[in-house]
């Protein structure tokens, strides 16, 4: 089953490097603990700059946070995500997230994503598109897939993050 993820990541890396020129891509994978309700909805502070076209529900119970751990390019990383459900996907469950990524106590930067969930009540997958980044991820792109419904259980993720050289 691991080969299913390696091939798309490798192909995406080759295509992205050739299509955008001076980008380097790294595989990322790991796990996210079960999400908790974020009563202050931290994601809203990133709306004006990173999600101007997104409308968040913003009601209690529609914003979440969680901790992650994994590897980026083979090196250990940890992170904290802040997410909010959005009303942008007509007939589909969508969200946007900010993920702070750390190496030890050093913040590498933030990833800003737009997410699409499929089958939230069954065999849930979340398709995450990186739309921007900060610090080491500034101008970054990439995609992740999260397997499982983070509202009810810990989940796993894998994908690729591409950044400017």
How big is the chain, counted in residues?
A: 165
Two tokens at 143?
């995609």
Tens of pLDDT along the chain (165 residues) come to: 444 444 444 444 444 444 545 789 999 999 999 999 999 999 999 999 999 999 998 676 799 999 999 999 999 999 999 999 998 777 688 899 999 999 999 999 999 999 998 876 777 889 999 999 999 999 889 999 999 888 889 999 999 999 987
What residue segments make up the domains of the chain, in order of their start?
2-164
CATH number for domain 2-164, candidates 3.10.620, 2.70.70, 2.40.350, 2.30.29: 2.40.350
Quote the CA–CA distance of 98 and 78 in Å, as a whole number.
14
Closest of 89, 153, 162 to residue 127, by C-alpha? 89
Q: Are 63 and 38 spatial neighbours (Cβ–Cβ below 8 Å)?
A: yes
């Amino acid at each position: 089953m691991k080969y299913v993820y390696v091939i798309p990541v490798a192909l995406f890396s080759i295509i992205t490097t050739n299509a955008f020129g001076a980008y380097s891509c790294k595989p990322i994978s790991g796990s996210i603990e079960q999400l908790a309700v974020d009563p202050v909805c931290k994601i809203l502070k990133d709306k004006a700059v990173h999600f101007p076209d997104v409308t968040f529900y913003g009601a209690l119970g529609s914003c979440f946070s969680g901790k992650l751990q994994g590897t980026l390019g083979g090196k250990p990383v940890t992170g904290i995500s802040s997410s909010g459900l959005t009303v942008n996907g007509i007939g589909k469950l969508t969200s946007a997230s900010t993920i702070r990524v750390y190496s030890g106590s050093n913040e590498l930067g933030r990833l800003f994503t737009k997410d699409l969930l499929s089958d939230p009540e069954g065999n849930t997958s979340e398709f995450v598109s990186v739309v921007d980044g900060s610090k080491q991820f500034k101008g970054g792109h990439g995609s992740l897939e999260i397997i499982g419904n983070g509202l009810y259980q810990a989940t796993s993720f894998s994908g690729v993050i591409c950044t400017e050289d």
